[in-house]
């Protein structure tokens, strides 16, 4: 496996989304505040998992920001490898099986001392999502788990902001960056979500300012948080000086990229109906990166991202339809 050449190698959270439709009474009883996004300790995760299982149907779908992006990129023809940490349990097996089904190389050995990470997604009758995440094993990715030959040989190293938290996975990401830079490979980084920035903005800002990132993905809000300013244009001006290519998504207003003196904007791709915006950013990155490693110019990369994002928001879920099956449990 290590001798294979990949278009994209990604490091990210190996997470399984646990989805259920529950009313507000359930949320109150479970001690969960509606509409929040929160990190859970492993004991809290076990309690919530049991409450969800005891109260009705639960659906389990492998997720994780970078893994979702690779799912989209692989569907578009890119040859991909994922490096992420699972536990030695049923959900870890489910995650791996989905990656194999998508033709994404994945063989990070599972660990026995932590469960596979889970993101509990509770959908209220009004459609609002409450997300509670237990990273668990995914945040125990170590330097030893890296496939260094694959990173050196790939066109692109792709990293996600969610993993840039605890020191252990951060050290693995730093080592991956060193390997990629040593062989003059491109490095793309997605800020993932504004929830991933508090407490780690300073270290991320240093990473970017030091020239460790070639392509930076962010939405407008994340860009302003990252730059420490209140104005989008000021954030764009600051960040675009620090990376080779800044890619900014603007939801229904489309997306833009700044690379040196070039500034290109594209509209959002049309969709017949917006069903679920979960994963739109992940799939935008998928479309952009798949086009990039295929040699497309910046405008075509943006349009590829817009098409991929438009496709995923027409159905429930963060990955393209097809290529994997969900695990249903009553």
Do residues 94 and 117 make contact, with C-beta atoms less than 8 angstroms apart?
A: no
Residue 284 tokens read as 């935008």
Does the structural domain 8-14+63-114+136-324 have CATH classification 3.40.190.10?
no
Is 212 in contact with 177 (CB distance < 8 Å)? yes
- Residue identified by tokens 């505040």 is 33
Report the largest interatomic distance among the alpha carbons of the chain, rounded to a whole angstrom: 57
Nearest of 50, 99, 96, 63 to residue 316 by alpha carbon:
63
pLDDT tens figures, 196-238 = 566 778 888 899 999 999 999 999 989 998 888 999 999 999 9
CA distance 149 to 6: 10
Do 116 and 16 form a contact (C-beta atoms < 8 A)?
A: yes
Mean pLDDT of the chain: 90
Query: Can you tell me the distance from the alpha carbon of 104 to that of 70, in angstroms, rounded to the nearest whole number?
Result: 8
pLDDT of 194 reads: 57
Handedness of CA 292, 295, 301, 305 (dihedral sign): negative
20-25 average pLDDT score: 92
SS3 32: coil
- What tokens does 207 get? 């990473």
Strand residues in the chain grouped as ranges (E): 8-11, 15-21, 37-39, 58-63, 80-83, 117-123, 129-134, 156-160, 186-190, 215-219, 245-249, 255-259, 262-266, 327-329
DSSP three-state, residue 281 = helix
Give dist(CA 69, CA 162) in Å, integer: 13
- Please state, as a whole number, how many other Cβ atoms lie within 10 Å of the Cβ of residue 80: 31
For residues 329 and 134, the model is more confident at 134
Distance from C-alpha of 309 to C-alpha of 313, rounded to nearest angstrom: 7
**Phi and psi torsions of 281, nearest 5°:** -65, -40
pLDDT at 157: 98
| pTM (predicted TM-score) | 0.91
Q: What is the pLDDT of residues 257-302, one digit of tens each?
A: 999 999 999 998 888 888 777 778 899 999 999 999 999 999 999 9
Q: What is the mean pLDDT of residues 138-159?
A: 97
**pLDDT at site 193:** 65
The residues that bridge with 58 in the sheet, in sequence order, are 329
Structure tokens at 155: 């066109």
| Three-class HEC string of 226-243 | HHCCCCHHHHHHHHHCCC
Predicted confidence at residue 65, as pLDDT, reads: 92
% of residues, the chain, pLDDT over 90: 72
Domain layout of the chain by residue ranges: 8-14+63-114+136-324
CA distance 254 to 13: 27
**Pairing of β 8-11 and β 80-83:** parallel
């Amino acid at each position: 496996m290590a001798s294979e050449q990949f278009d994209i190698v990604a490091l990210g959270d190996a997470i399984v989304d646990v989805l259920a439709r529950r009313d507000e009474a359930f949320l109150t009883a479970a001690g969960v505040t509606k509409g929040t996004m929160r990190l859970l300790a492993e004991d809290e995760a076990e309690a919530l998992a049991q409450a969800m299982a005891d109260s009705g149907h639960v659906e389990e779908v492998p997720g994780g920001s970078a893994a979702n992006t690779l799912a989209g990129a692989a569907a578009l023809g890119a040859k991909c490898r994922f490096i992420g940490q699972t536990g030695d349990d049923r959900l870890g097996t489910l995650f791996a099986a989905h990656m194999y089904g998508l033709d994404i190389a994945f063989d990070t050995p599972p660990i026995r001392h932590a469960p596979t990470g889970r993101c509990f997604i509770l959908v209220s009758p009004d459609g609002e999502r409450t997300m509670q995440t237990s990273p668990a094993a995914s945040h125990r990715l170590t330097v030893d788990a890296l496939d260094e030959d694959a990173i050196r040989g790939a066109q692109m190293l792709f990293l996600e902001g969610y993993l840039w938290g605890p020191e252990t996975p951060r050290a693995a990401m730093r080592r991956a960056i060193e390997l990629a830079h040593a062989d003059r490979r491109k490095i793309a980084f997605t800020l993932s979500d504004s929830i991933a920035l508090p407490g780690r903005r300073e270290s991320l800002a240093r990473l970017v300012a030091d020239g460790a990132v070639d392509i930076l993905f962010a939405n407008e809000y994340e860009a302003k948080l990252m730059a420490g300013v209140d104005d989008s244009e000021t954030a764009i001006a600051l960040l675009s000086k620090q990376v080779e290519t800044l890619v900014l998504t603007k939801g229904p207003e489309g997306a833009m990229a700044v690379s040196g003196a070039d500034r290109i904007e594209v509209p959002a791709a049309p969709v017949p109906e917006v069903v679920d915006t979960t994963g739109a950013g992940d799939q935008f990155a998928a479309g952009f990166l798949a086009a990039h490693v295929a040699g497309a110019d910046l405008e075509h990369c943006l349009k590829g991202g817009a098409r991929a994002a438009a496709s995923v928001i027409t159905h429930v879920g963060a990955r393209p339809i097809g290529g994997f099956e969900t695990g249903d449990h009553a």
